[in-house]
Amino acid sequence: MEWSGLSVLLTGGTGSFGREFAKVLLAEHHPRRLIIFSRDELKQHEMQRELTDPRLRYFIGDVRDKERLHRAMQGVEVVVHAAALKQVPSCEYNPFEAVKTNILGAENIIDAAIDARVTRVMAISSDKAVNPINLYGATKLVAEKLFVQGNSYAGASGTRFGCVRYGNVVGSRGSVIPVFRQQKVTGRITITDERMTRFWITLQQGVRFVIKCVGLMRGGEVFVPKIPSMRITDLADVVAPDCERQNVGIRPGEKLHEVLVSRDESRYTLEFDDMYLIQPVHPWWATPTYSGAQPMVSGTKFGSDTNTRWLTHDELRQMVEE
């Protein structure tokens, strides 16, 4: 896909993903303009001081506000939807707010994009959406369903919707790495459960995967990168090797292991060398075909504990340093 000359809207644009996305897209893909859509004027001000590119536009707005989204999407060809309430404890304590942003906000994005005749809309999802046990994961699961079936609402308008689903991002807000670093000075770090595993991806890897999938999408897909796993104990060895470890127990709404493609989803998932593509179950629009893919083995899963690719200490150290 050729991004040159396109007008792009990024929701949640002042977050960790948004800042990296803006840097990569502007430097390597040369859009006509990139609209940063977010609620926080202070973060927008700070981002303006960091990124002075004249192609950037800053819109104050909330995905809960459909009228503002309609205004922001005028003349836009591509939307990347990264705005969400993401902290698991915060979503548990403020469930109505999580629903308003993560679910009703997704509905507003879909309606506004169809009305504005946006060509492609890609939503950012999470491994927490697979077999969710907390509210955050449940809202992301619903959002995924909305974006997949949004293609039915779009009909012949030409607007197409897809999702990217990946795991924990190294160094993003809420990452365990800053916590370990803060605790390191005390000589003791806290670990919820030493058996815990997680998928691991860098911000730049996530950004480049999203950009790639926007070019590949034809409507209704959930794209999943083949990314490595890490053990929480290995991360502790790298970040705080000489510290005492205190096991504090798994937190409410937390899993021992994460899944990016479930056993049930494997029945309609295609496998590529570098990713999985989950096809829509009810494609009430044209079903595309893909070259270079083979069906995922039915009844298998892509889980952080059953992954065939594990990060070594050296690889973890390099990712953490970067």
Q: Which residue in the block uniquely carries the two structure tokens 């340093």?
A: 321
Tokens standing for residue 78: 């591509």
Q: Is the dihedral of CA 105, 287, 213, 141 positive or negative?
A: positive
Rounded to a whole number of angstroms, the distance between the first and last alpha carbons of the chain is 29
Q: How far is CA 228 from CA 9, 158, 310, in A?
A: 30, 36, 5
Helix (H, G, I), strand (E, B) or coil at 245: strand
- Matching residue, tokens 């807000």: 173
C-beta separation of 322 from 205 below 8 A: no
Residue 29: alpha-carbon gap to chain centroid? 20
- The Cα–Cα gap between 22 and 17 comes to 9
Closest by CA to 79, choosing from 30, 119, 20, is 119
Burial pattern 222-256, b for ≥16 Cβ within 10 A else e, equals bbbbbbbbbbbebbbbbbbeebeeeeeeeeebbbe
Secondary-structure breakdown of the chain: helix, strand, coil percentages, each rounded to the nearest 5: 40, 20, 40
Rounded to the nearest angstrom, the gap between the alpha carbon of residue 245 and the centroid of all alpha carbons in its chain is 30
User: Could you give the dihedral angle defined by the CA atoms of residues 2, 52, 102 and 28, in that order, rounded to the nearest 10 degrees?
Assistant: 20
Residue with token string 């040369």: 30
Do residues 99 and 77 make contact, with C-beta atoms less than 8 angstroms apart? no
Annotated catalytic residues are 128
